[in-house]
């Protein structure tokens, strides 16, 4: 038996004043998954989210929530009828209503008080029902917004940069909490971010967007360690790019040494290596030299000079006590190869 995805977008296209915001946007989100929609500013993330929610009507394409067509084939279901919960950057709580009334907004029926109590408990705010929004911290306000979105048991929850109004330590804590809340609620969620670390940390599936379309989707480790092209590789994190020549049986010769390739490319290639895939082995006879070190406590970034005068950065744990002037030999743990 095949399960119907929670969200299916096909061929969404949308232009604003002739400028494309979505160009053939195709997205499938399986039930119970947390998806982050990641891309640079202006690539169409918010437009895609708003099209799923029903706040934008694309020029072409279809949107399905479960097995229901909510946009396309002559349908354009109103946002409040799509069974979608939204959480915005700016919380959007009603300032003159208590927490209870904010969460109850949109609910009806005799079980409303018990449902409000249950979702406030889920987001860790049991007992906060009679407070006003201004009596809450930013993180607490965002949890109320999440409780309000979850209260009607929507098919999907859409979150648009939900942590960007919080300071850095609060943001880290909130993203762990929100992930756990969404898992506990069994929710399907799509959340928009332009922060790579956040996208990788919170999601089961990361969808990378560029110029209105999806360039890659996969688990956080797939997109980070096997980016589909050099642009995605650079967008997702630091990378060292070197020229190489691919020979037989996946062996690629580069200025950093020999690396193994999973691709069947032959001849000139571009090789991408993440800084943590370069391992500097202390060696008094090594051909490379540590010329600088940034120490972060939990890890450190070393700048290494190669025999040809070029430099590479490598990220290692805090332990190796390497400092300026130390000789090393480099070993490459992993690499991704692209056609030159």
Q: Give the interface segment with ligand ATP, choosing from 17-25, 94-102, 117-125, 240-248 (CB under 6 A).
A: 17-25
Reference 195, options 162, 228, 148; nearest CA is: 162
Least CB distance to ligand ATP at residue 195 (A): 10
CA distance 215 to 197: 18
- What token pair was written down for 311? 């430099």
Residue 105 burial class via C-beta count within 10 angstroms: exposed 0-12, middle 13-18, buried 19 and up: middle
Name the residue nearer to ligand ATP (CB basis): 105 or 231. Answer: 231
> Cα separation of 130 and 220, whole Å?
39
CB-nearer residue toward ligand ATP: 21 or 335: 21
Cβ at position 265, least distance to ligand ATP in Å: 32
Least distance in angstroms from the C-beta of 166 to ligand ATP: 17
For residues 177 to 206, the per-residue mask of contacts with ligand ATP, x marking binding by CB under 6 A and - elsewhere, is -----------------x------------
**Site for ligand ATP (CB under 6 A): which residue of 4, 16, 60, 292?**
16
Count interface residues toward ligand ATP (CB under 6 A): 13
62 contacts: CB under 8 Å, gap ≥ 6: 8, 9, 10, 11, 12, 69, 71, 72, 73
Map residues 29-48 to x or -, x wherever contact with ligand ATP holds by CB under 6 A. ----------x-xxxxxxx-
* Per-residue interface string for the shown chain with ligand ATP, residues 141-180, x marking contact by CB under 6 A: ----------------------------------------
Query: How far from chain centre, in Å, is Cα 302?
Result: 27
Is 90 an interacting residue with respect to ligand ATP (CB under 6 A)? no
- Sign of the four-CA dihedral 184, 224, 289, 287: positive
Q: Residue 233 and residue 193: Cα distance in Å, rounded?
A: 17
| Residue numbers at the binding site for ligand ATP (CB under 6 A) | 16-17, 19, 21, 39, 41-47, 194
């Amino acid at each position: 038996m095949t399960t119907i995805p929670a969200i299916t977008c096909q061929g969404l296209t949308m232009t604003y004043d002739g400028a494309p915001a979505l160009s053939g946007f195709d997205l499938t989100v399986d039930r119970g998954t947390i998806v982050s929609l990641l891309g640079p500013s202006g690539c169409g993330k918010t437009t895609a989210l708003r099209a799923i929610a029903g706040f934008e009507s694309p020029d072409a394409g279809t949107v399905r929530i479960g097995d229901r067509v909510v946009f396309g084939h002559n349908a354009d279901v109103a946002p409040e009828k799509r069974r979608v919960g939204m959480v915005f950057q700016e919380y959007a709580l009603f300032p003159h209503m208590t927490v209870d009334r904010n969460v109850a907004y949109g609910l009806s029926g005799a079980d409303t008080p018990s449902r409000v109590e249950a979702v406030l408990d889920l987001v860790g705010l049991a007992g906060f029902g009679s407070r006003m929004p201004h009596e809450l911290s930013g993180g607490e306000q965002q949890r109320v917004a999440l409780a309000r979105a979850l209260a009607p048991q929507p098919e999907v929850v859409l979150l648009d940069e939900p942590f960007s109004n919080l300071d850095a330590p609060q943001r880290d804590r909130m993203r762990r909490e929100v992930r756990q809340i969404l898992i506990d609620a069994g929710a399907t969620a799509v959340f928009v971010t332009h922060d790579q670390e956040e996208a990788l940390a919170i999601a089961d599936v990361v969808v990378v967007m560029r110029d209105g379309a999806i360039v890659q989707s996969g688990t956080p480790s797939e997109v980070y360690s096997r980016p589909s092209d050099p642009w995605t590789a650079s967008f997702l994190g630091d990378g060292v790019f070197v020229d190489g020549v691919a020979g037989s049986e996946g062996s690629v010769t580069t200025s950093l040494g020999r690396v193994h390739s999973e691709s069947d490319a032959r001849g000139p290639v571009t090789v991408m290596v993440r800084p943590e895939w370069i391992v500097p082995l202390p060696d008094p006879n090594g051909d490379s030299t540590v010329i600088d070190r940034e120490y972060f406590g939990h890890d450190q970034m070393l700048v290494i000079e190669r025999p040809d005068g070029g430099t590479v950065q490598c990220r290692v744990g805090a332990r190796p006590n390497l400092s300026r002037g130390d000789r090393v030999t480099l070993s490459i743990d992993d690499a991704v190869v692209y056609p030159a």
